[in-house]
Structures are given as structure tokens and as C-alpha cells.
């Protein structure tokens, strides 16, 4: 355990929604909900203005519309989120050589490697404030909440205490005092099922968990999980900040501006991605046993399927065969926005075929372009008009698309409607994601 508050956790506030508000001036200060816009969609992120109406992540879009019907419901723009995340991670890495990204919008930073004159509370508070200011500067005003403590667990808990746009430092020696009144669900790995098992045993708070013997926790939750919770309930966490994680998977994915509905086209795209994955595996001398696919439907719902092989492979043809088989089990009739192939369970060896046979690599696939669909224009999507310039899709339907013409650097702009096949209007150019 560290004797100093030298682990920092940064969590960007309502990240997806905040990026949308930054880039769409007319939405600033208003409820914004990012996720699936269809009836079966799910909320990915809600702005703080929408949260006041009870909207939260993982809620169905149907319920979110009932709670906050006047919100702007937008599909995600992952290229914008990735670009903004890269800017933030660059700031963190300039501050310390030990940065451990957890997702697009959060990371741990090891302050012991940041070159600070000391690690007293006043010093790390000043550092945290400077870091938050720098993040706001490079991202065009996005805010992040910072927690600083003697471990990853404590820093993560601290970053939840003063949201949004806050900073909390837990002085060394006060960790248990902070944790004891909290619900056990603040502990990583305590999801609904584990929380219910603990509740049935009369354990709701960390103080109640701390009072239970290790043997009893292991009996309730199993050896590995029980030992971990026993330690965390006592604020014992010696996990290091790891800058360069060992590669756990190799993947390739692509996002498409028009929904894919042709199964043959989807299978071909997966095969092409599988070929790229195989090439990357061979380049790094790796192979893997588990092949997975990711499919994001038109309503933002993301599906994944995986299959584990008997032995590791680096063959693009083998990966493609398994990926196509996994796709066969999914209903994609509503349209697909993203496809991806990945290989995990990596090893640095390959089981040679005992019979001297292997699947031939598939030739380069000549794929037709996706046919335009009526869902080519989805709410929130970046577009550009020959005369009006850049804007974003306000809404579409019945052959008409409505656009608000504005950017992050302009005042709120005018709204215009066009036929979906208007040649003067089209998707805005953006970096390739595959």
C-alpha cells in the first residue's frame, strides 16, 4: 500500500453527450441523450441536464423519451469521441510516463512518476487542478472529475464524489473512514448478482462487509472473488498503474455511414477484416484461440459473439470462416452500422496441423458498395451541404432529412430540410475507422 495520495483517476463528465454539446452550439445547456434512437435502443450517455429528469446510462430509449421527451436524442459519433479521447490521453502522458487508460473517457495516472516536488495533499491538489484546466483547454471546454488517493480503488471512488467538474483527494490514513458508510456496490466487481447475494447475508455497506471474516466471504462468493472483496473492504489495494498493458487481443472494425442490410456484403467485410487481423498476428508472431465478432445495429444496440478454437491460429481464412459462422446466428435485418472481428487468447506459438493441411488464404475480396438506405441520415450525424456548409442531422424520415447548420466554432445555426437524395447534401468526410 502507498503511504501517499499518488494515484489519480480522471473521469470525463458525461463524455459522449459533452462532445455533442461542444460540437453543436444549439444543444449547450439542454438535455442531450446519446444512444439508440429507435424503440429498442439503449442510452449510452445522458447529459447532466437530462439526468435531472432521471435519465441514466443503460436505460431503454423508450423510457428515456417518456422521462425527457424534449431532449435531443442522437446516435453516436465514435470518430469524434476517439479523437477527443486521444487529446486527453496526450495531456495525461505529458504529465506522467505512467498512464493507464481504462476507456475513452477515463484513466489512471501515477503521480509518483510525475516529477512533483513532493506528494503532500496540497501539491497533488494543485497538480489535479492544473490537469483539469489543461484537459478543458485541449478539448474545447470539456470537464473532467478527478479523484486522488493511495490506490486505484480509492482514486476511483474519490472521482465519484464531486461530479461533475470536481476534485477530491483522500488523505492517506482516512480511506476506511471514507469507505465504511458506502454501499458495497462501489467496490469493483460487485454487480447486481453479487450485491444481492451479500444483501441476503445481511451485508449492504462496506462497514458490514468489513465485519465479516474472510472465510465467510469466500464461502459466500468463492475463493478468488471473496479474497479480493475482503481486501478492498479494508482499503487494501496494491495494484500498480500499468502504462503498457500486454496485448490481449487483435481486432479490426469499421463503421458505415449507410446501414448494411446485404448479408453477402457483411460476410465479405468480415472476411476482409479477418485477413487484416491474420496479417497483424503474423507480423507480431502471435496467434489466438478465440475469434469474436462485434455488430452494432442501426439502433445503437451492440451484439457480440465468440467461438474458441481447439488450438491457436494466425490464419485469416480460419478467422474469416469462424466469423462468418458467428454472423449467421445474428438477426441483422434492421441494418448494421458497425462490424468488427477480433482474436483473443493470444499465444506466441501455433499448433501445426498434424495432417499437413491448412485452409488456403482467401484472395482479396472485391466488395460492392453498400446500397443507400433510408436510414443513411441518423440524428446527430455530421453532414455537409454544397451551399450551406457543415451541419448535423436534426432528424429524418419519410424521404426528408432536416439539418441544423452549425459547428463548434459558430453560433447556433439555421435549420433546413431536404430530400434524402438531394445531391447537394452528403455525409461529412471523416477519418477511416478500419
Q: Which residues of 227-254 are buried (b: 16+ CB within 10 A; e: fewer)?
A: ebbbebbebebeeebebeeeeeebbbbb
- Say which of 49, 106, 175, 253 is annotated catalytic: 106
427: how many CB neighbours lie within 10 A of its CB?
Answer: 14
Cell of 272: 476482409
**Alpha-carbon distance 367 to 358, whole Å?**
25
- What are the beta bridge partners of residue 260? 336
Residue (of 23, 85, 33) closest to 57 by Cα position: 33
**Cα separation values, 376 from 178, 248, 283, 296, 328, Å:** 50, 34, 37, 15, 24
Q: Coil, strand or helix: which one is 53?
A: coil
Residue 110 makes CB contacts below 8 A (sequence gap 6+) with 6, 7, 8, 96, 98, 99, 240, 241
Cell of 313: 491460429
**Alpha-carbon distance 82 to 77, whole Å?**
9
CB 37 within 8 A of CB 395: no
CB 308 within 8 A of CB 319: no
Residue ranges of alpha helices (H) inside 121-253 are 121-139, 152-158, 175-179, 192-200, 206-210, 214-221, 223-232
Query: Is 106 considered catalytic here?
Result: yes
Active site residues: 106
Amino acid at each position: 500500500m502507498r503511504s501517499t495520495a499518488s494515484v489519480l483517476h480522471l473521469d470525463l463528465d458525461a463524455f459522449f453527450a459533452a462532445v455533442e454539446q461542444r460540437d453543436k452550439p444549439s444543444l449547450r445547456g439542454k438535455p442531450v441523450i446519446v444512444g439508440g434512437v429507435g424503440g429498442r435502443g439503449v442510452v449510452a450517455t445522458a447529459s447532466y441536464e437530462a439526468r435531472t429528469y432521471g435519465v441514466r446510462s443503460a436505460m431503454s430509449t423508450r423510457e428515456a423519451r417518456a422521462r425527457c421527451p424534449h431532449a435531443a436524442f442522437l446516435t453516436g459519433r465514435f470518430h469524434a469521441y476517439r479523437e477527443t479521447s486521444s487529446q486527453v490521453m496526450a495531456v495525461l502522458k505529458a504529465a506522467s510516463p505512467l498512464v493507464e487508460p481504462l476507456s475513452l473517457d477515463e484513466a489512471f495516472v501515477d503521480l509518483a512518476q510525475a516529477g512533483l516536488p513532493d506528494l503532500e495533499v496540497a501539491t497533488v491538489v494543485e497538480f489535479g487542478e492544473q490537469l483539469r484546466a489543461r484537459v478543458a483547454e485541449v478539448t474545447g471546454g470539456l470537464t473532467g472529475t478527478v479523484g486522488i488517493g493511495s490506490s486505484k480503488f480509492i482514486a476511483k471512488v474519490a472521482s465519484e464524489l464531486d461530479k461533475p467538474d470536481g476534485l477530491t483527494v483522500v488523505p492517506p490514513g482516512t480511506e476506511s473512514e471514507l469507505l465504511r458508510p458506502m454501499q458495497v456496490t462501489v467496490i469493483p466487481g460487485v454487480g447486481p448478482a453479487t450485491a444481492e447475494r451479500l444483501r441476503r447475508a445481511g451485508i449492504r455497506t462496506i462497514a458490514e462487509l468489513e465485519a465479516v471474516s474472510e472465510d465467510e466471504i469466500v464461502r459466500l462468493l468463492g475463493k478468488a472473488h471473496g479474497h479480493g472483496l475482503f481486501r478492498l473492504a479494508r482499503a487494501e489495494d496494491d495494484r500498480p498503474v500499468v502504462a503498457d498493458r500486454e496485448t490481449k487481443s487483435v481486432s479490426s472494425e469499421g463503421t458505415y455511414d449507410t446501414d448494411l442490410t446485404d448479408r453477402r456484403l457483411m460476410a465479405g467485410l468480415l472476411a476482409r477484416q479477418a485477413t487484416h487481423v491474420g496479417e497483424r498476428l503474423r507480423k507480431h508472431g502471435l496467434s489466438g484461440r478465440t475469434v469474436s465478432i462485434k455488430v452494432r445495429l442501426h439502433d445503437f444496440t451492440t451484439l457480440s459473439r465468440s467461438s474458441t478454437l481447439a488450438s491457436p491460429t494466425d490464419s485469416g481464412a480460419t478467422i474469416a470462416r469462424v466469423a462468418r459462422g458467428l454472423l449467421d446466428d445474428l438477426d441483422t435485418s434492421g441494418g448494421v452500422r458497425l462490424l468488427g472481428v477480433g482474436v483473443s487468447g493470444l499465444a506466441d506459438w501455433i499448433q501445426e496441423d498434424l495432417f499437413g493441411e491448412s485452409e488456403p488464404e482467401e484472395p482479396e475480396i472485391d466488395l460492392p458498395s453498400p446500397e443507400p438506405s433510408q436510414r443513411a441520415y441518423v440524428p446527430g450525424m455530421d453532414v455537409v451541404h454544397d451551399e450551406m456548409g457543415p451541419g448535423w442531422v436534426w432528424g429524418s424520415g419519410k424521404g426528408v432529412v432536416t439539418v441544423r447548420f452549425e459547428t463548434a466554432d459558430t453560433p447556433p445555426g439555421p435549420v433546413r430540410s431536404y430530400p434524402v437524395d438531394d445531391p447537394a447534401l452528403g455525409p461529412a468526410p471523416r477519418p477511416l475507422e478500419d
